[in-house]
Amino acid sequence: MDVLQNSAKTPPVSTSREALARTPWLAAVPVATLDRLAELSMLHRMPPNSVLFEQAESPAFAQLLVQGSIELLAARGAEETLVEFVRAPDLLLPAAVLNQQPYLLRARVLDEATLVMIQAEAFRQAVVSDRALCLAVLACQAAQFRRQIKHAKNLQLRSAEERVGCYLLRLTEDATPGQPVRLPLEKRLIASQLGMTRETFSRTLATLARHGLRVEGDLVHLENAAAARARFQLDPLLDGPEPMLPLQIQGI
């Protein structure tokens, strides 16, 4: 079902240095620093389902996700629940690397991932010595924190039906009105992002037709925008994207 893959194509990178150069939120970081980081890092490509690290492992690398997407999962025995979903470009759990603490989550590749893997100690030293990098990482970490809070609020304050409704409604808002929208992921993955089982997700989809949202295969039709928006009130605080603009260094 390749139609479900992410279609945003950026030309593939072939070196760490190139990957760092293309990362928007590293734009303000001096070339010298990026050069040094690039030297101490490797560009890695990982297929879907690879596990990048396990819970309780101590980070050996700072991992910058350049292309693809990663699931961060809380695992206990056989159970697994998704705690964070990371899309490129972003750092994987910088908090663990910075604070020199073991990972709290398992990282598994969803869409084939390209990663810059930087020696953890080199990364920490670079953060300490380069102000712009420190600010960029701070902005990145802050944005991740806010995404996490949004995720928690979404789970705790909304019912399963509301989560699904808001998710679909948001999809349709991004697209051209009147046109059906394609689901960006397999249903089982959407279900896990929304914190419910596939079965519940499936049943919920069926009930949404009452509220003006009909889902047919992987196509979403907004049949009654007014009804849908009345039932599922999007909250910009929860449903909006979380922008990340590093603080600027002014002056000199």
Partner DNA sequence: TGGTAGCATTGATCTGGATCAAAGCTATTT
Partner DNA sequence: AAATAGCTTTGATCCAGATCAATGCTACCA
Position 124 contacts a second copy (CB under 8 A):
yes
For DNA, give the closer residue by CB, 103 or 201: 201
**Footprint of DNA (CB under 7 A):** 1-2, 159-161, 186-188, 195-203, 205-206, 215, 217
Q: Which does 28 bind (CB under 5 to 8 A by kind): DNA, a second copy, none?
A: none
**95: contact with a second copy by CB under 8 A:** yes
248: partner contacted, choices DNA, a second copy, none (Cβ within 5-8 A by kind): a second copy
14 token code pair: 């072939």
Q: Is there a contact between 91 and 41 (Cβ–Cβ < 8 Å)?
A: no
Rounded least distance, CB 172 to a second copy, Å:
23
Q: Which is nearer to DNA, 110 or 117 (CB)?
A: 110
The one among 48, 102, 217, 241 contacting a second copy by CB under 8 A: 102
Q: Does 197 bind a second copy (CB under 8 A)?
A: no
Residue 81's binding partner, choosing from DNA, a second copy, none, with beta-carbon cut-off 5 to 8 A by kind?
a second copy
Q: Which of 6, 50, 119, 148 binds a second copy (CB under 8 A)?
A: 148
Residues 52-91 as x/- pattern, contact with a second copy by CB under 8 A: ---xx-----------------x-x--x-x-x--------
Pick from 50, 185, 42: which is nearest to 106 by CA? 50
Q: Which is nearer to a second copy, 155 or 206 (CB)?
A: 155
Three-class DSSP labels, the chain: CHHHCCCCCCCCCCCHHHHHHHCHHHCCCCHHHHHHHHHCEEEEEECCCCEEECCCCCCCEEEEEEEEEEEEEEEECCEEEEEEEEECCEECCHHHHHCCCCCCCEEEEEEEEEEEEEEHHHHHHHHHHCHHHHHHHHHHHHHHHHHHHHHHHHHHHCCHHHHHHHHHHHHHHHCCCCCCEECCCCHHHHHHHCCCCHHHHHHHHHHHHHHCEEEECCEEEECCHHHHHHHCCCCHHHHCCCCCCCCCCCCC
φ/ψ (deg, to 5) at 177: -60, 145
Residue 128 touches which of a second copy, DNA, none (Cβ within 5-8 Å per kind): a second copy
**Closest distance of CB 252 from a second copy, Å:** 11
Closer of 2 and 176 to DNA (Cβ): 2
Window contacting a second copy (CB under 8 A); options: 39-47, 63-71, 100-108, 213-221: 100-108
